[in-house]
Structure 1
């Protein structure tokens, strides 16, 4: 493996492949495993299908890794793209790129969530792309202006500070959960979704004088309460949002973990095998720290708790170590080309999954009578599996076409 120059390192295929592997699950592989689990009697397959669903609240499943893994990879890529840009054009150019990409991702995120199709306040301003944008902006600016030691201190401050805020700041003893509110407001009128009327909920919230600390239940924690009071527009969970205001802070730490991994991969004084070992050891250490911290500060994706950051970061480091070893150290690359195609255009394919709808397009090809015939004559549930397979095929065909034509739509 040749030694890259500091100013122009070779592109790491493993990073693109891991990004594509991550998006592969979002774009339909999850539905395939769920469909196989639903029609199978195999306990192993059913257990795998269970890993393709988010935990309702506390805990960690494979599908809870998909989002933070992407944020982590954004951090890895930031090191390579911004280091070269700063060397060529200076920090001002890097800041300009960061701000431009952030604004575009914010706009794409609002569009992905439905844009302005609804009247205010039914427009959702936060979401997956918005969180990626804000984490990238903060981590990118920190990377441009500060040394790794400062970045490490900021990461620790974000994780410990977020824990301290949720643990020690008193909040109203009101659980913003539909079932809990119905029991507190049994006679309140209901809205179209069955939630108690907003006026009664707000009155209960404002008039509650009892305070509690260190609570992490759904709707009974500082993060959810701040969203209820200060987050404008529509919220994914009615009263609060999993991509809300305060939980963006630890998401920045997730991106910074990716930056540390990128700094390691970019070094030329360490061999490939040593990088793999370092990534793997860091991953194991992060997992251990996250699970231990989770005893007091539960691992909760919807709050992006500090323990969740470490557990997700640990698995991200281990996956990066595996992909880097197989693809860039051992040079075994043929198997990963479809993932590379997706990984070179992830945001484009993510947006197209809503605008075009790969599954909807697949249903037009093999749905209807074809799907029903497969269910009736071969095996129940087979029609849905075939639709999902065709959907994934469309993703690979489009991604491969764009890669072959060198169409890379970068924000």
Structure 2
């Protein structure tokens, strides 16, 4: 990791930082409830098919990875050797792969390497970031559009037409779909999601449509960076593109269900469309209309998104070890004064606030962690 200041960075899109910051805040909120047994339904993932607000968090982040590739790479693409840029992206990918594995060994030393979960949120971000960067550097936008379409259609064919070894037929069930079979074959059950060991919600095959989500973001970022279109036209195009993607995603949902765990093609279009609409709204309000008074809290998270996410795994863990009169912070300050679901929610908001204060210190000291 390196530390940089604002003088080292290219001009940022404020609406992107705000949108990313809001996404990170939501990610922390849903990942750290006070009591996992008492959670409001919108703050839980779908049981399988379908999409809750919580299911939007991860695809929104990958979408913004794609947009960010444009803003970080466009000025370098034509001036620096591509090999050097790819090597730097590879280094970032490796670091992002290692972080969650080290974290697991710290929090679950009894499991050791024998039960280390290899897939995960950060590993998927790492792979998607690297692949998206290479595609941006080495292909034209027209080629990337074809790759995006090919990834969605190809994934649909793989998941719905090719018989799964052992099951004998193509299916979209948790333990017997093609992605689950590939994960067991490559990673082995001991290195998959701890809740199952038979499949993983961030499995290897699902990386294909996840890359499509980032390519969706690259397409949107490319439009935002155009200098031959005014802001009003850009905004209209973003809303139109987003709405069309949502409609196509909902139609595709009829025979290839929207499903986050499988990262189905309909899920890519539906969430990518919603992310585009969300970014269009923030772009119009902030960068076009100049309404910036409410942006500060989100910018604090958005400018240090990966650092905030990594720390969200450590700080709540150690907060949970604090005892006051033999009781945890949750049992002392929240559970006695609220209903179970509200106590869980207020505790999660408290965790978001603590992490925000940490990131605020980084922000005020102009410390921006870049991996």
Taking structure 1 as the reference length, the TM-score comes to 0.80
Is 1:73–2:64 an aligned residue pair? yes
Farther off after superposition, 157-166 or 91-100: 91-100
Report the alpha carbon displacement of residue 390 of structure 1 after superposing the two structures with TM.
Answer: 3.1
Match of 1:332 in 2: 291
8 Å Cα contact 2:66-2:217 kept in structure 1: yes
**4+ residue stretches of structure 1 with deviation over 4 A?**
29-32, 361-376, 381-386
CA distance in 2, matches of 1:384, 1:71: 28
Report the alpha carbon displacement of residue 56 of structure 1 after superposing the two structures with TM.
Answer: 0.8
* Shift in alpha-carbon separation, 1:386–1:165, aligned structure 2, 3 A: closer
Q: Trace 1:311-350 onto structure 2 (pairs within 5 A).
A: 311-350=270-309
Is 1:212–2:177 an aligned residue pair? no
Farther off after superposition, 130-139 or 221-230: 221-230
* Shift in alpha-carbon separation, 1:231–1:338, aligned structure 2, 3 A: same
For the aligned residues, what is the CA RMSD? 2.7
CA distance in 2, matches of 1:369, 1:16: 31
Report the alpha carbon displacement of residue 50 of structure 1 after superposing the two structures with TM.
Answer: 1.6
Is 1:235–2:235 an aligned residue pair? no
Give 1 or 2 for the bigger CA radius of gyration.
1
Report the alpha carbon displacement of residue 287 of structure 1 after superposing the two structures with TM.
Answer: 0.7
Q: Trace 1:253-268 onto structure 2 (pairs within 5 A).
A: 253-268=212-227
* Shift in alpha-carbon separation, 1:245–1:72, aligned structure 2, 3 A: same
* Shift in alpha-carbon separation, 1:395–1:144, aligned structure 2, 3 A: same
* Shift in alpha-carbon separation, 1:408–1:226, aligned structure 2, 3 A: same
CA distance in 2, matches of 1:221, 1:375: 41
User: CA-to-partner distance for each residue in 1:340-372, whole Å, 9 max, x for gaps?
Assistant: 110111111211122232782696689758954
8 Å Cα contact 2:286-2:292 kept in structure 1: yes
Q: Trace 1:369-384 onto structure 2 (pairs within 5 A).
A: 372=332, 376=336, 378-381=337-340, 384=344
SS in 2 for 1:270: coil
* Shift in alpha-carbon separation, 1:388–1:242, aligned structure 2, 3 A: closer
SS in 2 for 1:84: helix
* Shift in alpha-carbon separation, 1:223–1:370, aligned structure 2, 3 A: closer
User: CA-to-partner distance for each residue in 1:177-229, whole Å, 9 max, x for gaps?
Assistant: xxxxxxxxxxxxxxxxxxxxxxxxxxxxxxxxxx223x112212111111122
Match of 2:3 in 1: none
User: CA-to-partner distance for each residue in 1:100-138, whole Å, 9 max, x for gaps?
Assistant: 111111111322444683334301111100001111111
8 Å Cα contact 2:67-2:221 kept in structure 1: yes
Match of 1:20 in 2: 21
Higher relative contact order (CA 8 A, sep 6+): 2
Match of 2:49 in 1: 58
* Shift in alpha-carbon separation, 1:405–1:292, aligned structure 2, 3 A: same
Taking structure 2 as the reference length, the TM-score comes to 0.88
* Shift in alpha-carbon separation, 1:273–1:219, aligned structure 2, 3 A: same
Is 1:281–2:240 an aligned residue pair? yes
Report the alpha carbon displacement of residue 96 of structure 1 after superposing the two structures with TM.
Answer: 2.0
Aligned length: 355
Report the alpha carbon displacement of residue 84 of structure 1 after superposing the two structures with TM.
Answer: 1.5
Unaligned runs of 5+ in 1: 1-7, 39-45, 175-210
CA distance in 1, matches of 2:200, 2:333: 41
CA distance in 1, matches of 2:249, 2:334: 45
Match of 1:196 in 2: none
Is 1:170–2:163 an aligned residue pair? yes
Match of 2:366 in 1: 406
